[in-house]
Amino acid sequence: MSGGGRIGSPPMDTEAPHTQRGHSSPREGQGWPRSAFSRRGGAEPAEGAGQDRSSGRPTWRRAGVLGVVCTAFLLLLSNFVLQPFLIPSHSMEPTLRVGDRVLVNKLAYRFGDQPGRGDLVVFDGTGSFVRERAGGSPVDGLVRGAASALGLAEPSDTDFVKRVVGVGGDDVVCCDAGGRLSVNGVPLDEPYLYPGDAPSKVPFRIVVPLGTLWVMGDHRSQSRDSRDHLGEPGGGMVPVEKVIGRADWIGWPASRWGAVGGGHG
């Protein structure tokens, strides 16, 4: 009998440890289901959960919204403050070259200042350099206007960039005995002229009406400017109110970054 008790004792010993493990303290983290730790914040989130949020990469919708916001900001900036203007011709060489993108300061004359002699101005030539005409498709005009405002397309064929030679009240004459232009009897020093060009091959004498400008290109032999409209209504004069802004900087290409050189005072 005593031998039988010794044979049965091992199972009783093994039973006790099992009972202890089953009632172990919950603080040890043993025996608790995974959901219990999730409720208490102890369990880590499943792999891959929230990956899109934590990756930092915007979704295509966010990228699209960001693109629209940036484009709208650039359009507002170009309409009211600073507009890129693509140079389409040789008329302003060597100061500006074909393909240059100048930044037009639209605030230059917004607060009472007026264009001065030597300024490079961008203006709407409708009514002075080109005739009034019916517009095309509104949609085409909107798309082209937006592209021009961002400097991605050539400017409207009614927009021009020229140098101011005379302002309201000036007496501009070509040419004096030395072959130079003179303003109010004072000969002009024009270092910006294209090498080899004469100040003008067309003789003229005009008095600039108040509120208007007499403008000319730096590459005189390649420029259609105020001289070419002397016999037309307006006489080639550009109303100050048609000035879009002053071309102050070259923004592109990078090799030509910098301020645009001024002219005579």
Q: pLDDT tens across 212-226, in order?
A: 999 999 999 999 999
Beta-carbon contacts of residue 229 (< 8 Å; ≥ 6 apart) = 128, 129, 235, 236
Lowest-confidence region among 30-39, 144-153, 190-199: 30-39
CA quadruple 202, 191, 248, 241: dihedral sign: negative
| Residue 236 neighbours by CB distance under 10 Å | 23
| pLDDT value, residue 233 | 86
Q: What percent of the chain has pLDDT over 70?
A: 62
Q: Where are the domains of the chain?
A: 83-259
What would the pLDDT profile of 59-87 be if each residue is shown by its tens digit? 877 777 776 666 665 555 555 568 999 99
What would the pLDDT profile of 239-254 be if each residue is shown by its tens digit? 999 999 999 999 999 9
Alpha-carbon gap, residue 28 to 32, rounded angstroms: 9
pTM score: 0.66
- Give the strand pairing for 182-183 and 212-216: unpaired
Alpha-carbon gap, residue 215 to 236, rounded angstroms: 8
Which residues are marked as active site?
91, 162
Alpha-carbon gap, residue 228 to 220, rounded angstroms: 11
Which pair of tokens denotes residue 260?
Answer: 């645009």
Superfamily of domain 83-259: Umud Fragment, subunit A (2.10.109.10)
| pLDDT value, residue 36 | 40
Beta-carbon contacts of residue 65 (< 8 Å; ≥ 6 apart) = none
Q: Determine the average pLDDT of the residues in 95-113.
A: 93
| pLDDT value, residue 62 | 78
